[in-house]
């Protein structure tokens, strides 16, 4: 077996994620999503950006034709770069010629727009445009460059150095000259350059890039960015140094991209204090500022985190990009610490935020992912750019369309997060059917994994090829999986949440089976979450379930759950015993009364719940995750 193709995150040290070519998915939940991404989403993104002129912006710069109007927001270059990253992973994963050819074509157009000193941007610095770096708060120039660097990381790790990598290297060198110790003392309003520089530094073995990322991190938190109207410096995470913060605040995607870059720098420079700061922020933010789905961001006004326990379900923003950024952070923390709780949150976010975004045909997407939709949506334009991020119907494209391309690059590289390797040990973190082949210190190990997870709890692993020396295998048991069991050559035994280690030699033909309890269960919110006090949710394995009005005999707002009857399995969802409370009679100038008016409950009836990731796939509908109890 040749050396593996490294994945999106490749820190120094023994613990590593999978290479893009080390796990071949065979259908199933994630194999299906990945195939849909390949067959539909990548081309969909390309067509929309060509249609809107976002890619042609590079042609205009190359031709010196920038004096006229420029289509797209100032950060539209980044969407092209995220698509290029997705194409690089797709080609590395499948060898698809169309992905390679499309990437090569886009690279030529980007390269033609690059200035002699390495600067590349289609919104600033050319005839008829504002000067370079004249608006660090909102210009997104460094943000766009960061995504270019991440595209180059995908390319160098899947195909080696080529023209795209050279474009990125020149762009990174320009950033180091412009913003180094002797250059501009500035930062970008939207973090991303930090994680791009750090990972490109790893890929090209160039410590100057890591040092520049460190400089950007240390400069943040001094209030140097120009505030946006009605928002303060916390929006940019520029209100306090990253080492001093106890929780994530402000714009969720910005906060999480910054945290990801901080972890990279902390690991590469052995900065234990910086790593501990991000771990501290993760802990409090997950315990107090994260939704049941794993979604992050409870405020629409700044697409950001609220205060502790501020988690309204109907106003949950939970941007798809924030879910992806959460995975980026948790994955880096897992590789840095080996702590299983980070992989647990990744699973929750994968199934209930990332998988919820794309439509069944891969050509429409959720931007925001609320946990309650009060009424069926009717304002999504099926064949046009949609100006609003929120809404109860997946939209084909957005005015700010960061989520489709972010989703594309994540699904194209999903298998990289499924397991980790440490010397002679393999840890399975996310469960999907496929063939896993890794090179251990003792030799090559091939596992065939067969599972219908998350709809069924059995995960069967067969050893197809084994190294001559010792090898270890451990399986993640999710924190919710009380009553799990593992069976191997030594028999069947209970597997507590955390890690279940396979016993006995991993010889060819050996089988290991993990049994996870995926029966539906009630989940109660912390009493300090005012917005859902008196409510209950239902989960089934890693899936959060929801009720849709299309399945109810009564209006959704009148639903009351009888929590004395546990939910039971039905299909990939559950059935609850519930009733309806008729609304109080209307009257009066305000929706309040001097006495509590409660009518007689309607005859109980079974109510169907479906996985949250499937809501609105059957059309626009009201929906809620947390259900009031009787």
pLDDT, tens digit (0-9, with 9 covering 90-100), for 240-294: 999 999 999 999 999 999 999 999 999 999 999 999 999 999 999 999 999 999 9
272: left (phi over 0), alpha (psi -120 to 50) or beta: alpha
Summarised one tens digit per residue, pLDDT across range 366-393 is: 999 999 999 888 767 778 898 878 878 8
What is the rounded CA–CA span in Å between residue 186 and residue 173?
16
Positive or negative torsion for Cα 273, 276, 282, 285: negative
Summarised one tens digit per residue, pLDDT across range 45-75 is: 999 999 999 999 999 999 999 999 999 999 9
- Per the document, the length of the chain is 630
Task: Give me the phi and psi of 97, to 5 degrees please.
Answer: -65, -35
Please name the residues in contact with 571: beta carbons below 8 A apart, sequence gap of 6 or more. none
What is the rounded CA–CA span in Å between residue 405 and residue 504?
44
* Exposure of 423 in the CB half-sphere (CA atoms within 13 A): 4
Q: Locate tokens 């539909």: which residue?
A: 40
The residues facing 627 across adjacent strands are 536
What is the rounded CA–CA span in Å between residue 597 and residue 363?
46
**3-state SS assignment for residue 299:** strand
Query: What CATH number did the domain enclosing 481 receive?
Result: 2.60.40
Identify whether 5 is part of a domain.
no
Per the omega criterion (within 30 degrees of 0), is the bond before 324 cis? no
Mean pLDDT of the chain: 95
Q: How large is the average pLDDT for residues 308-335?
A: 97
Q: Is the pLDDT of residue 351 over 80?
A: yes
Residues 64 and 192 in one domain: yes
Q: Find, among 236, 239, 245, 242, the residue nearest to 260 by Cα.
A: 242
Cβ–Cβ under 8 Å, residues 87 and 37: no
Identify whether 260 is part of a domain.
yes
Cβ–Cβ under 8 Å, residues 240 and 219: no
The residues facing 365 across adjacent strands are 358, 395
What is the rounded CA–CA span in Å between residue 415 and residue 225?
38
Identify whether 11 is part of a domain.
no
What is the rounded CA–CA span in Å between residue 561 and residue 212?
55
Identify whether 50 is part of a domain.
yes
* Number of neighbours of residue 12 by Cβ within 10 angstroms: 10
Tokens of 478: 């999710």
What is the rounded CA–CA span in Å between residue 380 and residue 552?
24
| Residue 371, pLDDT score | 97
Q: Is the pLDDT of residue 119 over 50?
A: yes
Residues 189 and 41 in one domain: yes
**3-state SS assignment for residue 554:** coil
Residue 444's H or E segment, with its range, is strand 443-451
Task: Give me the phi and psi of 490, to 5 degrees please.
Answer: -95, 0
Residues 224 and 208 in one domain: no
| Residue 581, pLDDT score | 84
Over pLDDT 90: what percentage of the chain?
89
Choose the final residue of a domain: 219, 253, 283. Answer: 219
| Residue 16, pLDDT score | 96
The residues facing 492 across adjacent strands are 487
Summarised one tens digit per residue, pLDDT across range 550-607 is: 999 889 999 999 999 999 999 999 999 999 887 767 667 888 877 776 667 777 889 9
Q: What is the dihedral of CA 111, 114, 118, 119, to 10 degrees?
A: -140
| Residue 597, pLDDT score | 65
Confidence of residue 2 (pLDDT cuts 50, 70, 90): very low
Residues 579 and 433 in one domain: no
Choose the final residue of a domain: 219, 250, 282. Answer: 219
Cβ–Cβ under 8 Å, residues 13 and 267: yes
Tokens of 355: 């998988």
Residues 511 and 538 in one domain: no
Pairing of strands 16-17, 543-548: unpaired
What is the rounded CA–CA span in Å between residue 359 and residue 43?
15
What is the rounded CA–CA span in Å between residue 461 and residue 504?
14
Q: How large is the average pLDDT for residues 424-451?
A: 97
147-156, 184-193, 459-468, 598-607: range with lowest mean pLDDT: 598-607
DSSP state letter for 203: H
Per the omega criterion (within 30 degrees of 0), is the bond before 285 cis? no
Q: What is the dihedral of CA 265, 186, 325, 80, to 10 degrees?
A: -110
| Residue 1, pLDDT score | 36
142-146, 176-180, 375-379, 474-478: range with lowest mean pLDDT: 375-379
Residues 617 and 573 in one domain: yes
| Residue 208, pLDDT score | 98
Residues 317 and 453 in one domain: no
Residues 351 and 480 in one domain: no
Choose the final residue of a domain: 470, 489, 515. Answer: 515
Q: Is the pLDDT of residue 437 over 60?
A: yes
Give the number of domains in the chain.
Answer: 4
Task: Give me the phi and psi of 141, to 5 degrees please.
Answer: -65, -50
Identify whether 21 is part of a domain.
no
- pTM of the entire predicted model: 0.97
Residues 120 and 42 in one domain: yes
Please name the residues in contact with 523: beta carbons below 8 A apart, sequence gap of 6 or more. 292, 536, 537, 538, 539
Residues 191 and 258 in one domain: no
Summarised one tens digit per residue, pLDDT across range 464-521 is: 999 998 999 999 999 999 999 999 999 999 999 999 999 989 999 999 999 999 999 9
Identify whether 110 is part of a domain.
yes
Residues 156 and 48 in one domain: yes
Domain containing 196: what range?
A: 27-219
| Residue 553, pLDDT score | 87
Q: Find, among 403, 445, 452, the residue nearest to 424 by Cα.
A: 445
Q: What is the dihedral of CA 18, 19, 24, 29, to 10 degrees?
A: 50
Over pLDDT 70: what percentage of the chain?
98
Residue 193's H or E segment, with its range, is helix 193-204
Identify whether 427 is part of a domain.
yes
What is the rounded CA–CA span in Å between residue 32 and residue 37?
9
**3-state SS assignment for residue 434:** strand
What is the rounded CA–CA span in Å between residue 9 and residue 21?
14
| Residue 519, pLDDT score | 97
| Residue 387, pLDDT score | 84
Cβ–Cβ under 8 Å, residues 185 and 219: yes
Identify whether 15 is part of a domain.
no
Summarised one tens digit per residue, pLDDT across range 11-53 is: 998 899 999 999 999 999 999 999 999 999 999 999 999 999 9
Residues 102 and 89 in one domain: yes
């Amino acid at each position: 077996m040749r050396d593996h193709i490294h994945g999106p995150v490749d820190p120094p040290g023994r613990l590593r994620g999978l290479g893009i070519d080390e796990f071949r998915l065979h259908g199933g939940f994630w194999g299906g999503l990945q195939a849909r991404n390949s067959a539909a989403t990548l081309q969909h993104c390309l067509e929309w950006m060509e249609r809107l002129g976002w890619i042609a912006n590079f042609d205009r710069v190359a031709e010196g034709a920038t004096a006229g109007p420029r289509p797209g927001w100032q950060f539209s270059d980044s969407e092209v770069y995220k698509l290029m990253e997705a194409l690089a992973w797709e080609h590395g994963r499948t060898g698809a010629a169309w992905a390679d050819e499309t990437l090569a074509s886009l690279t030529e157009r980007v390269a033609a727009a690059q200035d002699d000193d390495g600067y590349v941007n289609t919104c600033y610095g050319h005839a008829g445009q504002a000067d370079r770096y004249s608006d660090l708060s909102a210009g997104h120039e460094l943000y766009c460059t960061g995504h270019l660097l991440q595209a180059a990381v995908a390319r160098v790790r899947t195909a080696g150095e080529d023209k795209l990598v050279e474009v990125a290297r020149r762009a990174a060198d320009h950033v180091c000259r412009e913003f180094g110790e002797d250059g501009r003392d500035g930062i970008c309003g939207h973090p991303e350059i930090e994680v791009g520089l750090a990972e490109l530094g790893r890929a090209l073995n160039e410590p100057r890039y890591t040092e520049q990322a460190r400089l950007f991190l240390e400069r943040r938190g001094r209030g140097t960015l120009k505030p946006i109207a009605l928002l303060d410096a916390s929006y940019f995470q520029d209100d306090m140094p990253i080492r001093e913060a106890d929780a994530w605040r402000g714009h969720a995607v910005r906060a999480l991209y910054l945290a990801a870059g901080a972890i990279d720098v902390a690991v590469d420079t052995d900065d234990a204090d910086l790593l501990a700061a991000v771990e501290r922020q993760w802990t409090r933010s997950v315990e107090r500022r994260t939704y049941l789905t794993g979604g992050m961001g409870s405020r629409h006004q700044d697409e950001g985190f609220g205060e502790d326990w501020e988690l309204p379900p109907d106003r949950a923003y939970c941007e798809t990009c924030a879910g992806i950024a959460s995975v980026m952070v948790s994955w880096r923390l897992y590789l840095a610490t080996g702590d299983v709780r980070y992989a647990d949150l990744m699973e929750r976010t994968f199934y209930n935020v990332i998988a919820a975004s794309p439509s069944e045909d891969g050509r429409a997407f959720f931007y925001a992912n609320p946990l309650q939709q009060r009424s069926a949506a009717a304002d999504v334009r099926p064949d046009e750019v949609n100006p609003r991020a929120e809404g109860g119907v997946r939209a084909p494209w957005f005015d700010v369309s960061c989520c489709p391309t972010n989703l594309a690059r994540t699904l194209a590289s999903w298998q990289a997060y499924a397991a980790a390797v440490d010397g002679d040990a393999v840890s399975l973190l996310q469960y999907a059917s496929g063939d896993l082949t890794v090179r251990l210190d003792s030799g090559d190990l091939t596992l065939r994994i067969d599972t219908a997870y998350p709809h069924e709890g059995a995960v069967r692993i067969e050893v197809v090829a084994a190294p001559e020396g010792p090898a270890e295998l451990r399986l993640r048991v999710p924190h919710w999986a009380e009553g799990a069991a593992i069976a191997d050559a030594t028999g069947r035994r209970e597997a507590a949440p955390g890690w279940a280690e396979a016993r006995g030699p991993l010889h060819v033909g050996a089988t290991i089976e993990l049994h996870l309890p995926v029966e539906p269960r009630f989940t109660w919110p912390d009493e300090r979450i005012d917005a859902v006090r008196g409510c209950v949710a239902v989960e089934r394995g890693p899936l959060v379930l929801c009720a849709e009005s299309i399945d109810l005999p009564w209006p959704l707002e009148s639903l009351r759950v009888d929590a004395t009857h546990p939910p039971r399995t039905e299909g990939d969802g559950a059935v609850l015993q519930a009733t309806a409370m008729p609304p109080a009679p209307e009257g009066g100038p305000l929706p309040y009364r001097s006495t509590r008016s409660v009518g007689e409950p309607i005859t109980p009836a079974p109510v169907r719940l479906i996985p949250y990731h499937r809501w609105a796939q059957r059309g626009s509908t009201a929906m809620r995750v947390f259900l009031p109890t009787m």
